[in-house]
Copies of this chain bind each other. A is one copy, B any other.
Amino acid sequence: MNTRTSSPTQAPGILAGSANPHLAQAIARHLGVPLVSRVIERFPDGELHVEVQENVRGCDLYLVQPTSPPAEAHLLELLFLADACRRAGAASLTAVLPYFGYARQDRRARGGEALGARLIAGLLEASGFQRVVAMDLHTAALEGFFSIELEHLSAVPVLADAVQPDLPEDAVVVAPDLGAAKLADRYAQSLDRPVALVHKTRISGEVVRAGTITGDVRGRTPLLVDDMISTGGTIEAAVNVLLAAGCQPEITVVASHGLFVGPAAERLSDLPVRRLVVTDSISLPAGFTLPVQVHSVAPIVAEAIKRIHYHQSLRDLVARAA
């Protein structure tokens, strides 16, 4: 027990952007507080206008806003809310980003590009945030893009618990590409199943074999895991390789972030995907019709906020995610 820290006596303030108000509401409910009252509206020329309608002076505020598409609008809204809170005398501002857009722009490949993820990080810092809470970042090293504290949560425990009950004995956790290998390991460990890895093998310097599999999938039921599903292209390619390798044609697909943009719904509906599981880090696109099981990250995010706010350690919370 730490006797050096005293818990603040006031509750955390939860402020919802417009990107995912349901998640913010659920987080607030878990914390037993109402959402901070605010207006987010647009002038006739489309310019954003925000107003925090209650007194936040001296408050520690947690602004919940995934920077999902349209990322610019959601990002600017977050920055405007931060400015409003800061000028209204908030004691501290934490950006709660259940999904961190632009995470894939983490390096310049040819030298003429913007370093998008760092640019976003810079804008968040310049706007007065003292802390960022993120979840299943595409690149863990994004933590170093910030000079402020970043707490990196994970939905893996939530999603693993969700698929565990009716997971067949013969299931194998599959990473659809190299980038998902560590994630697959975490699922495998949590679910006590073996792991397999789809990747492209270079036959010679010029010839690339479209996809091969490390690990045993023949006759087994794949649990395909990734951090996000965008257009579904990576999933589609991996499923085709798995089927060619003789897996059971009953695939479960699990991802932390369900963007489902462009042809995603069509692509996924054409595949033998028995079950599609994501979290509510991002609101499902309007008119999205694919059957998908959505598990809430509100409990884990709320727990993280609670610990941060009351000066408790996040170690085991983050450790499960590491």
Residues in chain A within 8 A of chain B (CB atoms): 2-6, 8-13, 33, 38, 44-60, 69-73, 75-76, 79-81, 83-84, 86-89, 101-102, 104-119, 121-123, 126-127, 131, 139-145, 147, 149-152, 173, 178, 181-182, 185, 188-195, 197, 199, 201-206, 212, 214-215, 230-231, 259, 261-262, 307-308, 311-315, 318-319, 322
Contacts and interface: CB of A to CB of B under 8 A. Distances in A.
B116 A55 contact: no
21 contacts: A5-B59, A38-B112, A47-B102, A50-B113, A51-B113, A52-B113, A54-B112, A55-B313, A57-B311, A79-B119, A81-B114, A86-B149, A87-B108, A106-B140, A107-B152, A123-B126, A145-B145, A188-B204, A193-B205, A194-B202, A201-B214
Contacts of A212: 214-215
Given A46-B71, A142-B144, A206 B192 contact: yes
Contact of A45 (B76, B190, B261, B313): B261
Most buried by B among A48, A59, A231: A48
Contact of A10 (B6, B13, B55, B197): B6
Contacts of A178: 178, 181-182
Contacts of A319: 110-111
A91 to B, nearest CB: 8
Contact of A126 (B126, B144, B192, B307): B126
Contacts of A308: 57, 89
A12 B202 CA distance: 41
